[in-house]
Amino acid sequence: MLNVLNTIDIMEIKKFIKSELTGWKKSEIICLILVFTVILVNAFILKDSPVAVMSAICGILYTMIAGKGKVSCYIFGLMGSGCYSYLSFHNALFGNLILYAGYYIPMQILGIFKWKNNLKKETNEIFKTKLNKQETLKLTSFAIIASILVIVLLYDINDKSPYIDGITTVLSIIGMYLTVKRCVEQWLVWIVVNGLSLLMWLDLVLKGSRAYATVIMWAVYFILAIYFYFTWKKEIKN
């Protein structure tokens, strides 16, 4: 009986892995290999932080697989969030620390169940959606008010980058919410977040922080957000 159950479990796992690996373009796989090669070579030459390297690899895999609409993205998302929480604490980016440890991790767990209930049977990818005008207005108002409040708070606790950290923290909350809701607008939010985060970490690296892989990670995030915005928009339109 146990052997039969184990066989069924193995078959289900193989089926799940096979479905998660479908729908990839050769160009996407080649780009991933090139990016990971750059990160690892950079880590070896510049003696980058191992946690920064792990965070970058998991984060890029999460973004890429999320863009493909696959539930397995959250496995790498949880791993990457844990690593990035450590980096944020080590570099006194308290806004990012609270965001990742207190919000991203619980929301990604929620995302697993939300996405599993909204999958296309033929491709095992999620159904994509978009916001209406009323939802867009509410989220925009929230973003402006919350950003001002968070910036003031971070300034008071001596955050190293209160303005960028505050804005990216608030927009990331909105971005993760839209990700769980499967909205195409999430990618517009991530474009802003990733661009600002790239500038923030560049500044920290120039000041001596050994997190070069993190800079590469945010640069790749920025490019992927643009790529998947147009990909999702085209799919919803069709």
Ordered DSSP codes for 175-219: HHHHHHTTBTTHHHHHHHHHHHHHHHHHHHHHTT---HHHHHHHH
The ranges of the chain with pLDDT < 50 are: 1-8
Q: What is the pLDDT of residue 15?
A: 62
What is the C-alpha separation between 147 and 141, in angstroms, rounded?
Answer: 10
Q: What is the pLDDT of residue 123?
A: 76
Q: What is the pLDDT of residue 6?
A: 46
Measured CA distances, 153 to 11, 24, 176 (Å): 51, 43, 22
What is the C-alpha separation between 197 and 193, in angstroms, rounded?
Answer: 6
**208: phi > 0 → left, psi -120 to 50 → alpha, else beta; which?**
left
Contact call for residues 183 and 113 (beta carbons, < 8 A): no
Sequence spans of domains, the chain: 27-237
Q: What is the pLDDT of residue 119?
A: 87
pLDDT tens figures, 100-143: 888 889 999 999 999 988 888 777 788 899 999 999 999 999 99
What is the C-alpha separation between 190 and 130, in angstroms, rounded?
Answer: 15
Give 151-159 contacts, CB < 8 A, sequence gap 24+: 154/94, 154/95, 157/94, 158/92, 159/92, 159/93, 159/94, 159/95
Contacts of 107 by beta carbon, 8 Å cutoff, 6+ apart: 176, 177, 179, 180
What is the C-alpha separation between 58 and 235, in angstroms, rounded?
Answer: 26
Specify the amino acid at residue 66: A
